[in-house]
Amino acid sequence: MTRARLVTLVGALCALLALLLPRAAWAHKPSDAYLVVAVRGADVSLRLDLALRDLDDELGLDRDEDGELTWAEARAAAPAAAAAAWSSIEVRASDGAGEISAECTHVADAPPAIVRHSDGAYLVLQRRLACRAAPRALTLRYGLFFARDPQHRAVVRVDAGAASRSIVLRAAAREATLDLTDPAPARRAFLAMVREGAAHIAQGYDHLLFLLALLLPAVLVRRPGSARFAPRARFRPAALDVLRVVTAFTVAHSVTLSLAALEVVVLPSRLVESVIAASVVAAALNNLFPLLREGRWLATFALGLMHGFGFAATLHDLDLGRGALVVSLLGFNVGVELGQLALVAAFLPLAFAARRTWVYRRLVLKGGSLLIAALALVWLAERALAVRLLP
Amino acid sequence: MGPHGRRARRLVKAALGLSVLVAGVALVATAPRSAGGARVFVPARGDEVLERLPARTEGRRTRELRALRAALAKTPRDVELAVRTARLAIELSRARADPRYQGYAEAALAPLFHEGAAPPTAALTLRATLRQSQHDFPGALADLDVVVARAPKDAQAWLTRAVVLTVLARYPEARAACARLEPLAPAVVVAVCRETLASLTGQATAAYARLSRAAEGARLVTPEEGAWVASTLGELAARAGDVDAGRRHLERALELEPDDPYVLAALADLELDAARPAEVVRRLAGKEDNDLLLLRLAIAEASVRAPEAEAHAALLGQRFRASRLRGDVVHRREEARYLVALAGEPRRALELARANWEVQREVPDARVLMEAALAARAREEARPALTWLAESRCEDPALLRLRQELE
């Protein structure tokens, strides 16, 4: 056997073995580019994030071949990257009747920059276009990298007005047309967020129990100088008390939800979740060993601030486009308030009707509060110590 | 001012104090994390390193692939060149656990599938492998059907077929494919094919013993082959309940193929089950680039309460979101595990685990479905996995423990 033949045979065997088992099917995200198109009137701005690894494969960024991509190497390749990118992206604006009436022309480019996505560093290319008129529909065509890697995709987000639309362009579908006048995506997105908010309050037992612990004593009034409760005579003061508490909670969590969603303030989730559990304990214990009598709404406000951070975590997980963030935030909040309102609407008439009974004052108020406090105490321990106690 | 007024004032002060405290804590906690979002920046120094290319640490095959792709660009319909390029790219995608190489392989093969004529057999086999990696199992089987009809002595096709059918839990057909392999491949390869199946279907201990004997007598030609046999032995030993032997085999596999992500993940799972998370943290620290390993690392860190735990879980969450944005579903098994073990979202985990079970039915798929059903308090939802467990008679200790908890 000749040496060449032996090498081929061993090579074939290696190849055979390297192909054997379905291993490491997924360990990195495949290649993506991110394109954000922002439409403001007749101005269209594009931001394209390209993975340095893809640019290296296409253009050979790593000049010194040391396996490290530096800013100098990326900057040196930026003009070539921009030329390749912009020549493979097409933006056509139309008046909505299918006619391409508003050709968009190149106005200016921003200098190259860098952004880190979860899977590495990306080169940021930005370009401003001016169209002849405000586009009513936009056709996008994208063709970068497909020849080298058919699994490459462009994750596109178009922000126009209050609505964000997302599409994915791929080798088999490189072009898409978006109707910017269609109000449906904005409305759908808003309604979806309302649903998310309502679902979150319905499944967020900690928020519900917090509210319930605060509502339980609302149909009762404390005898002056004693810890004993007496039923309220009239519905109106009870309803007012509920209104104050619910409003304080709403205002407080709306403030912090907004701050957190806009990333003005970011808190570690373990701290947030622990304080939320502590707030439920505090609210429930206050029904058993009253420290605060009137003015519970103020304490509600202070503790409600923390709950807002808790809501924000959910919102963050939903991953929203910047352009639609305010609308989403509003929708989510409306959903949360609707959920709360449902709880109040179910609770208040029943509680008011039952307020004179022993069952309500002893079993529901005292027993219920005890139960809530105990449960929340377990949550607090679980969250603060990161252990699992409940099955 | 009455006592009422004074009390109200005290309350206002207390509430304000508390709010200021919250705001203060918030600001302190924010400071180091303000870069958490995707912030666009211009690096201050030209020599700032933005990205490390793992590919360059082992340059020979990278350079070889680059040369092949360059040559192929000139003659894209050269079948032999295209097949060589695709094969090398797939090998690299496995060694580096990087799907970009699968894309390069697909690009190399694409011109061979665009002609009126039937695609070459070798190209079909490679496309089947790519389809299998992308969890298009029916597509992979369709390609392999054509290959084995044309070339009934193609060992690679029978082996890939056995593997795909095993993933789909179609064990009798998989066994038949292993039988077709017998006269075509080295004995140890046939043993791995057979005993993996036996280990899944009620013969865990005997299968491990038989494969151990087959491996002892075998002449292992390459480190890849040795690592593959050793890691299979490790899995079979663990399934037979022998954790120490499992660990020994997997460590042996790592000696032959250091940093093999598949083996590292298997070893991490074994240590997590053996309640040795600190060992996982030690071994996987610094390997956060790989999502498969980041998942194990974050789970281990959460259980030893390491300071990085939360940041790593958050990074993993971002990676899953990025995958969802591009429309990928190949990592549902891992995302479901993340949602159960780290994110505390058993409902969504269950949805993913159920969808995943419709696509692939391996031990980890059954496990995550059972774990998600338990966590979501929806035991009924685990039924498909329980039915499979009863029918296959699989003896995986973790699955048996979960079944007990579910019943």
ipTM, 2 decimals?
0.82
pLDDT in tens, B238-266: 999 999 999 999 999 999 988 888 899 99
A-proximal residues of B, 16-35, CB under 8 Å: 18-19, 22, 25-27, 29-30, 33-34
The pLDDT, as a whole number, for residue A358 is 85
DSSP tag of B119? P
Residue B63 scores a pLDDT above 70 = yes
Cα–Cα distance between B259 and B278 in angstroms, integer? 18
Cβ-based contacts of B55 with chain A (< 8 Å):
67
Q: Which token pair is A365?
A: 């108020």
Amino acid at B55: A
Residue A17: the pLDDT is 45
pLDDT of residue A257: 85
Instruction: Mention every residue, 6+ apart, whose C-beta is less than 8 A from residue A167.
Output: A140, A156, A158, A176, A178
Confidence of residue B29 (pLDDT cuts 50, 70, 90): very low
Cα–Cα distance list, A156 to A107, A166, A341 (Å): 21, 6, 38
What pLDDT, on the 0 to 100 scale, is given for residue A182? 75
Does residue B25 register a pLDDT over 80?
Answer: no
Q: Rounded CA gap, A84 and B147, in Å? A: 39
Report the amino acid identity of residue B403. Answer: R
Q: In chain A, which ranges are E strands?
A: 32-40, 43-51, 68-70, 89-94, 104-117, 120-131, 137-142, 153-160, 163-170, 175-179, 220-222, 229-231
Predicted TM-score of the model (pTM): 0.76
SS (H, E, C) B323-350: HHHHCCCCCHHHHHHHHHHHHCCHHHHH
Give me B200's structure tokens: 């899944």
Residue of A nearest to B159 (CA): A20
Instruction: Please check whether residue B121 touches A, CB under 8 A.
Output: no
Q: Chain B contacts of A205, Cβ < 8 Å?
A: none
C-alpha distance from A112 to closest chain B C-alpha (Å)? 8
Contact A18 B25 (CB under 8 A): no
**Structure confidence by residue, pLDDT tens digits, B147-192:** 999 999 999 999 999 999 999 999 999 999 999 999 998 899 999 9
d(CA A31, CA A351): 58
CA dihedral A220, A221, A222, A228 (to 10 degrees): -30
Residue (of B258, B223, B138, B180) closest to A18 by Cα position: B223
- Backbone φ, ψ for residue A361 (5° rounding): -70, -35
Q: What is the pLDDT of residue A318?
A: 60
- A42 vs B194, residue with greater confidence: B194
% residues pLDDT > 90 (chain B): 68
When scoring B51, B92, B374 by the number of chain A Cβ atoms within 10 A, the one with the most, hence best to mutate, is B51
Q: pLDDT tens digits, chain A, 391 residues: what are they?
A: 444 444 444 444 444 444 445 454 457 788 999 999 998 888 999 999 999 999 998 888 887 778 889 999 999 999 999 999 999 999 888 865 555 555 788 888 999 999 998 888 999 999 999 888 888 888 899 999 999 999 999 999 888 876 778 899 999 999 998 888 877 777 777 888 888 888 888 777 888 888 888 888 888 887 766 667 788 888 888 888 888 888 889 899 888 888 887 777 777 777 888 888 898 998 888 888 877 666 678 888 988 888 888 877 767 666 555 556 677 788 888 888 888 888 889 888 988 888 888 888 888 888 999 999 999 998 888 877 766 666 5
Beta-carbon contacts below 8 Å between A and B: 261
Q: Are B335 and B298 in contact (CB under 8 A)?
A: no
The pLDDT, as a whole number, for residue A47 is 94
Q: Looking at the predicted structure, is the pLDDT value of residue B64 above 50? A: yes
Shortest CA distance to A387 belongs to which of B303, B156, B235, B325? B303
DSSP-derived secondary structure letter, A365: I
Is-contact A283 A304, C-beta < 8 A? no
Length of chain A: 391
Model pLDDT, residue A381: 85
Count the Cβ atoms, other than its own, within 10 Å of residue B136: 18
Element (H, E) at B41: strand B40-41
pLDDT at B30 over 60: no
pLDDT of residue A2: 44
Contact B321 A15 (CB under 8 A): no
Residue B327, chain A, CB below 8 Å: the answer is yes
Interface test with B, best of A7, A9, A13, A28 (most B CBs within 10 A): A28
Contact between chains at A24 and B97 (C-beta distance less than 8 A): yes
Q: How far is CA B367 from CA B29, B336, B372, B382, in A?
A: 37, 11, 9, 9
Smallest Cβ distance to B100: which of A16, A30, A68? Answer: A30
CA distance A34 to A47: 8
Banded pLDDT at B37 (limits 50, 70, 90): very low
- Say which DSSP state A224 is in: T
Residues B373/B406, Cβ–Cβ less than 8 Å: yes
Residue with the bigger pLDDT between A344 and B387: it is B387
Query: DSSP secondary-structure letter at B35?
Result: G
CB-based contact A215:A346 (threshold 8 Å): no
Residue A97: per-residue pLDDT: 57
pLDDT above 80 (res B222): no
* pLDDT number for residue B55: 53
Higher pLDDT, A280 or B15: A280
